[in-house]
Amino acid sequence: MLFGADRKLHRMLQYWAGTAIMYTTVVGLMFGPAALAGQAQARAICIYVGAGVAVFYPLVRVGARIGLAPNLLAGLQAVFSISCHVWGYSIAGPMRGVTLIGLPVIVVFCIFAMRPRQTLMLTAFNLAVMGGTMGWLAVHDPLHFPPAAEAVNFGFVAVGSLAVTLLTGEMSKLRARLKRQKDELLAALDTIRLLATIDELTALTNRRHMNELLAQEERRRAACGSAACIALLDIDFFKRINDSLGHAAGDDVLRDFARATRAELRDGDTLARWGGEEFLLLLPNTASGEARMVLERMRARVAALAPCDGLDHRVSFSAGLTAWRAGEAIAEAVNRADKALYTAKAEGRNRSIEA
């Protein structure tokens, strides 16, 4: 409820919580006793810091919904933090040097949301505001803010802030490079995963992945005993196409065949390229009558394909269909479908035979 479920939002709110703890600790140590003693300036800065921290929680929480970019939100928090440090420096008396330590920390917190150029601009703004404040104090109250001491303080702040900015800039570039490499690796992994499951030519499931699906279906049927059918499909006279028109034409036929047959699959059906011009069709939760209807719709779709130039016949296929029997190993069902396929070829092709 406090940090949300989104991981990115959760991380941003953790940063907010870290800064809130830091503000509370530093302000409490520096100004808490004075505020309790009734000093107006100390009480005012405590209220200012507490109100600012409270305001930024809802801004971080709903920033993405209202279109508040992370770098803009980080910039607003940085400006608020700089104002706290400048105000604290001007009223902290002998302890004012403590506030200078926090100025480079502001830049460090911003590297997660801002680009290197933006952090450099933030540092320039930071030094300009702090330098202007030190100069004004040295001119108007030289007794408490000696000009020489203020010049040394500013020198240390400038060197420290610029060094931190340069280092955080390099860190930001490194983070961006690592993120880019991570994205490239994830994209490569997705490609590998796709190639491991999909036949590159037809974009159908490949044989390796179909074997995994068959094993899953075998376990499912052992648990619930539902019906399933398997069919082996073979493109008729495919060797003749390759021999007379070339392998490029054969590849076109395979792609057209896959596209046509895939269009008739139902939800849950899987068609895989089993090898060469042979395909295996898995029909879960399907009786043999429904399976025959699916095959006939496929046959009609394939028959509607435009004939190949140079061939005297349209593309067709033969199929062997079988119902996967209860308790039967998958290899036995596939073997029976294979025998039915050879029967379909022997009886003249362009037909489906059920075994």
Over residues 83-141, the pLDDT tens digits come to 988 998 998 888 888 888 888 888 887 877 788 888 889 899 999 999 999 999 999 99
The kind and range of the H/E element at 149 are helix 147-197
Across the strands, what pairs with 228?
Answer: 284
Given a contact cutoff of 8 angstroms between Cβ atoms, the answer to whether 277 and 242 are in contact is: no
Instruction: Judge if 120 and 212 occupy the same domain.
Output: no
pLDDT value of residue 3: 63
What proportions of the chain, in percent to the nearest 5, are helix, strand and coil? 70, 10, 20
Structural domain including 289 reads 207-354
Contacts of 245 (CB under 8 A, 6+ apart): 308, 309, 310, 311
C-alpha distances (whole Å) from 137 to each of 32, 142, 181 are 24, 7, 49
118 neighbors 130 (Cβ within 8 angstroms):
no
Position 132 in a domain: yes
Are 226 and 282 part of one and the same domain? Answer: yes
**What's the number of domains the chain is made of?**
2
Q: What is the pLDDT of residue 310?
A: 63
**Quick one: 99 and 143 in the same domain?**
yes
Tell me how far apart the alpha carbons of residues 117 and 129 are, in angstroms, rounded to a whole number.
18
Domain assignment present for 173? yes
Tokens at 130, concatenated: 């702090």
Two tokens, residue 221 = 């049927």
DSSP state, residue 113: T
Domain co-membership, 166 together with 57: yes
Nearest CA among 318, 317, 320 for reference residue 353? 320
**Do residues 248 and 293 both lie within one domain?**
yes
As given in the structure block, the two tokens for residue 82 are 């700089």
Q: How far apart, in whole angstroms, are the C-alpha atoms of residue 243 and residue 355?
A: 32
Whole-number CA gyration radius for the chain: 37
Per-residue pLDDT tens digits of the chain, which is 355 residues long: 566 667 777 777 887 888 888 888 888 887 877 766 668 888 898 899 889 888 988 888 888 788 888 888 888 888 998 998 899 899 888 888 888 888 888 888 787 778 888 888 989 999 999 999 999 999 999 998 999 999 999 999 899 888 888 888 888 888 888 989 999 999 888 888 877 899 989 999 999 999 999 999 988 888 887 889 999 999 999 998 888 888 888 999 999 999 999 999 999 999 999 999 999 999 999 999 999 999 999 999 999 887 776 666 789 999 999 999 888 889 999 999 999 999 999 999 999 999 8
Last residue of a domain, one of 155, 190, 225: 190
Query: Is residue 310 domain-resident?
Result: yes
* 196 domain-assigned: no
Structure tokens given for 281: 């069709």
Do 222 and 159 lie in one domain? The reply is no
Q: Does some domain include residue 200?
A: no
Residue 195 falls inside a structural domain: no
Domain co-membership, 180 together with 213 = no
The answer to whether the CB of 279 falls within 8 A of the CB of 273 is: yes
Q: pLDDT value at position 33?
A: 79
With residue 279 as reference, give the H or E element that holds it.
strand 278-284
43 with 94, same domain: the answer is: yes
Taking CA atoms, 46 is separated from 54, 83, 86, 91, 341, in Å, by 12, 13, 14, 12, 85
Looking at the domain assignment, is residue 1 inside a domain? no
Q: Which of 158, 190, 222 is the last residue of a domain?
A: 190
Phi first, then psi, for residue 145 (nearest 5°) are -130, 75
φ, ψ (nearest 5 deg) of residue 279: -130, 145
Point out the domain boundary residue: 190, 224, 252: 190
Active-site amino acid positions:
277
Q: Which residues contact 174 (CB under 8 A, 6 or more apart)?
A: none
Both 170 and 230 in one domain: the answer is: no
Q: What is the pTM of this model?
A: 0.55
Residue 329 domain-assigned (yes or no): yes
Q: So what's the pLDDT on residue 2?
A: 62
Spatial distance between the Cα atoms of 280 and 334, rounded to a whole number of angstroms: 9
Four-point Cα dihedral 11, 17, 22, 25, nearest 10: -160
Whether 170 and 223 share a structural domain: no
Are residues 186 and 230 both part of a single domain? no
- Determine the distance from the C-alpha atom of residue 211 to the mean position of all C-alpha atoms in its chain, rounded to a whole number: 29
What does the pLDDT read at residue 229? Answer: 95
Based on the fold, state whether residues 43 and 174 are members of the same structural domain.
yes
HEC assignment per residue over 62-77: HCCCCCCCHHHHHHHH
CATH of the domain at 307: 3.30.70.270
Spatial separation of the C-alpha atoms in residues 303 and 30, rounded to whole Å: 86
Continuous H helices in 6-115: 7-36, 40-62, 70-91, 97-110
